[in-house]
């Protein structure tokens, strides 16, 4: 086997850490700032060991003030640096919402194109570690609503390893959602991975009977469901949206035009969601290609519960994806 095609097995956490390390090694202007990212090694151990390797000027512990340190990151970006701002959990991102929405997202427009804000904001997101309503939700749709931001979702080990390296080069603010439920999950990726084209969705599995469109923690669940469905004679295509703003309409429309059915899966609450937008675009751009109504499978619209069985019941699972898919293609 060619060395470049050899696979290495690693956890989602380790893939994120390797991406951070490589970004720091490649550009002296890159630095990481966030709560507990230094001496403690990160709330989820993603930055463990980086303080010892790069020092406190590039791995910066900050006070417990999301608005304050996110604003400082925006200021550093305006000053020519390439900051990576880590927000510990998605719930805490609301404390930085003013800085993200009213400053980072608007400055290029309000300056007549003179002020770029090359800041990357990493946010731990999602459901599945019994962190309850204080520390676990999927609020990607809130950020994807905002012009001036680019919003990406890390749904695979490959993207955990490489997506940051592309995002850090962007001249404009980028939000990256990483998933706490996946941190210990192991996967295999090539030793040598080409740069990730984060502007396009990725067809993770080709199929002809239905398009399952998803992102984030829904990607592996959808792939598992698709592999099981093949035993029932259903050949499902799985699309990882990857970019939530901007959406890659072309990949979505091409897939649905081929399969003529669409199921959109996400952990975020279903009302006013990513799936709402994707469904609308399918209806607007390829309605006459559909053989069945577009279906959505989203999170139950409640604050995320703590008990494990209720937490699992609040978000789509593999069996639900299979059940809805079978109904859509007339197998049940």
Q: Which residues participate in catalysis according to the annotation?
A: 66, 135
Cα separation, 64 vs 259, in Å, equals 49
**Is 134:275 a contact under the CB 8 Å cutoff?**
no
**Is 278:239 a contact under the CB 8 Å cutoff?**
no
Phi, psi of 299 (to 5 degrees): -70, 150
Cα separation, 127 vs 22, in Å, equals 28
Residues 6+ away with beta carbon under 8 Å from 168: 23, 27, 30, 82, 84, 118, 120
**Is 168:120 a contact under the CB 8 Å cutoff?**
yes
With 0-12 CB in 10 A as exposed, 13-18 as middle and 19+ as buried, what is 166?
middle
**Is 155:179 a contact under the CB 8 Å cutoff?**
yes
SS3 category, 212? strand
Phi, psi of 249 (to 5 degrees): -60, -40
Q: How many CB atoms lie within 10 A of CB 152?
A: 29
| Most distant CA atoms of the chain, gap in Å | 59
Cα separation, 14 vs 30, in Å, equals 19
SS3 category, 156? coil
Among the listed residues 242, 241, 265, 270, the one whose alpha carbon sits nearest the alpha carbon of residue 319? 265
With 0-12 CB in 10 A as exposed, 13-18 as middle and 19+ as buried, what is 230?
middle
**Is 221:317 a contact under the CB 8 Å cutoff?**
yes
């Amino acid at each position: 086997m060619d060395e470049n095609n050899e696979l290495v097995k690693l956890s989602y956490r380790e893939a994120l850490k390797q991406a951070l390390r490589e970004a720091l090694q490649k550009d002296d202007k890159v630095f990481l700032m966030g709560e507990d990212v230094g001496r403690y090694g990160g709330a989820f151990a993603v930055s463990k060991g980086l303080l010892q390797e790069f020092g406190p000027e590039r791995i910066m512990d900050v006070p417990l003030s999301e608005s304050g340190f996110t604003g400082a990151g925006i200021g550093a970006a305006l000053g020519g640096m390439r900051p990576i701002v880590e927000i510990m959990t998605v719930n805490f991102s609301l404390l930085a919402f003013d800085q993200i929405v009213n400053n980072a997202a608007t400055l290029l427009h309000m300056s007549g194109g003179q002020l770029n804000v090359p800041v990357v904001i990493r946010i731990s997101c999602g459901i599945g570690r019994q962190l309850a309503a204080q520390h676990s939700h999927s609020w990607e749709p809130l950020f994807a609503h905002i012009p001036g931001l680019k919003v990406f979702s890390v749904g695979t080990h490959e993207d955990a390893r490489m997506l940051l390296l592309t995002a850090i080069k962007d001249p404009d603010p980028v939000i990256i959602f990483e998933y706490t439920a996946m941190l210990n999950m192991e996967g295999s990726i090539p030793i040598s991975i080409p740069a990730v084209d984060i502007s396009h969705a990725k067809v993770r599995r080709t199929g002809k009977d239905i398009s399952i469109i998803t992102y984030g923690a829904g990607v592996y669940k959808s792939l598992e469901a698709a592999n099981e469905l093949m035993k029932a004679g259903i050949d499902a295509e799985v699309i990882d949206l990857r970019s939530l703003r901007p959406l890659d309409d072309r990949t979505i429309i091409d897939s649905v035009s081929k399969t003529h059915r669409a199921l959109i899966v996400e952990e975020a609450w279903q009302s006013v969601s990513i799936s709402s937008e994707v469904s609308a675009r399918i209806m607007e751009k390829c309605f006459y290609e559909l053989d069945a109504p577009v279906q959505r499978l989203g999170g139950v619209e409640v604050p995320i519960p703590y008990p494990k069985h209720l937490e699992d019941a609040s978000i789509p699972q593999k069996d639900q994806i299979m059940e809805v898919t079978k109904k859509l293609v007339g197998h049940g």
